[in-house]
Amino acid sequence: MDKVVKLIPITKAYLWGGTYLKKYRKTDEDVISESWELSIRKDNNVAVEGSNKPLNELLSDKDLGRNCKRFPYFPLLIKLIDARDNLSIQVHPSDDYALKNENSFGKSEMWHIIDAEKDAGLYVGLNKDYSKEEIEEKLKDSTIEECLNFYKVKPGDTFIINPGTIHAIGKGVRLIEIQQNSDLTYRLYDYLRKDKNGNYRELHIDKALKVIDYHKYENRPIKSDILADNQYFKVIRKSFDKELKISANEGSFLSFTFIEGNGLVDDIPFHEYDTFFLPNGKECLIKGHGVVIISGVNK
């Protein structure tokens, strides 16, 4: 692949989803809960605009970069999320636990808030130290929310969700999520909701209790353009007016999503919520104005 390409996302409809993203995505569903902007998975592969082919069929190892060679799978999954209702309260295991018990990698992720209704927020982490037995009791009597931090959020807020951290996106929040390419989730509590078939969604309490971090969660606000920089991914937010050059070094490809603005990426038009893929070793020029979230794989 010798130049930047625009991606065609995959949309998902879950019972908590909203309608905002329907203005930007084609779907026959009543809601769009998630728009998978960058995904190379057995069951979900984004396509490249103008090629009618999935991205994975057009990529070589060289296009991904050397940082990706340490992973036996495509390392990133990027989503836009629109929550009309609360998402389930959940937790993700670490790589060590998941590889030993699930034949899968674990999940680290980050959230960057795009928009939020008044008083909307996120549940992230425990509000003090708890024992396993205390959390188990709170789950039995459906009062787990009493143990969690609730953060009212505004556009621009960022949260890092490490494995073991209990978390949930609250209703009225729209965000971009960058994560390990894993969908391994242990659901703790789902507000006693039923799906469209009248069934409760499956919970995974026994597994979750083995991986929860039972210590008090300390939030560290992000105060720079670097939103995340860990062993899996580096994420940068850039505001621009007129021009912005993006270069993917020899370490990793870059994927970037516009959360505001419009203009051109080289000669390809972009609008808010468009996502592009830049092979490693290549560069592109953005002309226009807006805000872009740029993600790559760390060494």
pLDDT given for residue 55 in this prediction: 97
Distance CA 218, CA 124 (A): 9
pLDDT given for residue 280 in this prediction: 95
Whether residues 121 and 38 fall in one domain: yes
Task: Assign residue 237 the CATH number of its domain.
Answer: 2.60.120.10
Compute the 3-state secondary structure of the chain and give helix, strand, coil in percent, each to the nearest 5. 15, 40, 45
Which of the following is catalytic: 41, 84, 174, 187? 187
pLDDT given for residue 153 in this prediction: 97
pLDDT given for residue 66 in this prediction: 94
Of the chain, the end-to-end C-alpha distance in Å amounts to 22
Question: Is the residue at 99 inside a domain?
Answer: yes
Is position 187 annotated as part of the catalytic site? yes
CB contact at 8 A, 257 and 272? no
pLDDT given for residue 207 in this prediction: 97
The pTM assigned to this predicted structure is 0.95
pLDDT given for residue 297 in this prediction: 96
Whether residues 209 and 280 fall in one domain: no
Question: Is the residue at 213 inside a domain?
Answer: yes
Q: What pairs with residue 228 in β-bridges? A: 235
- Residue ranges making up the domain that contains 232: 228-297
Whether residues 90 and 201 fall in one domain: yes
Output the DSSP codes for 99-132: HHHTSS----EEEEEEEE-TT-EEEEEESS---H
Distance CA 244, CA 120 (A): 33
Which positions of the chain have pLDDT values less than 50? none
Question: Is the residue at 2 inside a domain?
Answer: no
pLDDT given for residue 136 in this prediction: 97
pLDDT given for residue 220 in this prediction: 87
Whether residues 208 and 158 fall in one domain: yes
Whether residues 46 and 168 fall in one domain: yes
Q: Count each helix (H run) and each strand (E run) in the chain, helices first.
A: 5, 20
3-state SS, residue 179: strand
Whether residues 246 and 263 fall in one domain: yes
Count of CB atoms within 10 A of residue 239's CB? 12
